[in-house]
């Protein structure tokens, strides 16, 4: 589900992709990668920023708002040690 903060992130990514990458990942290697991609071509920087936003949105859907830690390279892990079931596929019923 898209929230207003995600819409703002997308608008920031359209205007200046490294700022959106910094908001999502903080000062990390992904920020440096996004800066280099934006310098090499504005379009690759957009793709990378949108990918980072998409991965953050997936983590929020899976672990809840604020229930995850960013590990780098678009990977997130839950803060607590609970196990989260995989999303059920088409026709599957989750009983948990």
What CA–CA distance (Å, rounded) separates 50 from 78? 22
For 46, residues 6+ apart whose C-beta sits below 8 A from its C-beta are 13, 14, 17
Provide the residue-wise pLDDT of the chain in tens; the chain has 96 residues.
678 888 999 999 999 999 999 999 989 899 999 999 999 988 999 999 999 999 998 888 888 887 888 888 778 888 875 655 555 555 555 555
Q: For residue 10, what pLDDT is reported?
A: 93
The pTM of the full predicted model, rounded to 2 decimals, is 0.77
Residue 88 counted as domain residue: no
Residue 69 counted as domain residue: yes
Range of the domain at 29: 4-78
Q: For residue 47, what pLDDT is reported?
A: 95
Which alpha helices (H) appear in 1-96, and where do they start and end?
Answer: 4-15, 17-25, 29-40, 42-63
Residue 85 counted as domain residue: no
Q: For residue 93, what pLDDT is reported?
A: 56
Residue 95 counted as domain residue: no
Within 10 A of 62 (CB to CB), how many other CB atoms are there?
Answer: 15
Domain count, the chain: 1
What CA–CA distance (Å, rounded) separates 21 from 89? 31
Residue 91 counted as domain residue: no
What CA–CA distance (Å, rounded) separates 3 from 75? 20
Residue 92 counted as domain residue: no
What CA–CA distance (Å, rounded) separates 87 from 67? 17
Residue 22 counted as domain residue: yes
Residue 17 counted as domain residue: yes
């Amino acid at each position: 589900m898209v929230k207003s903060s995600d819409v703002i992130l997308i608008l920031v990514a359209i205007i200046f992709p490294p700022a959106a990458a910094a908001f999502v990942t903080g000062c990390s290697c992904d920020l440096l990668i996004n800066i280099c991609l934006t310098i090499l071509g504005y379009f690759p920087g957009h793709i990378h920023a949108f990918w980072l936003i998409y991965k953050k949105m997936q983590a929020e859907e899976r672990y809840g708002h604020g229930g995850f830690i960013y590990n780098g390279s678009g990977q997130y892990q839950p803060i607590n040690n609970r196990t989260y079931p995989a999303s059920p596929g088409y026709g599957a019923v989750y009983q948990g």
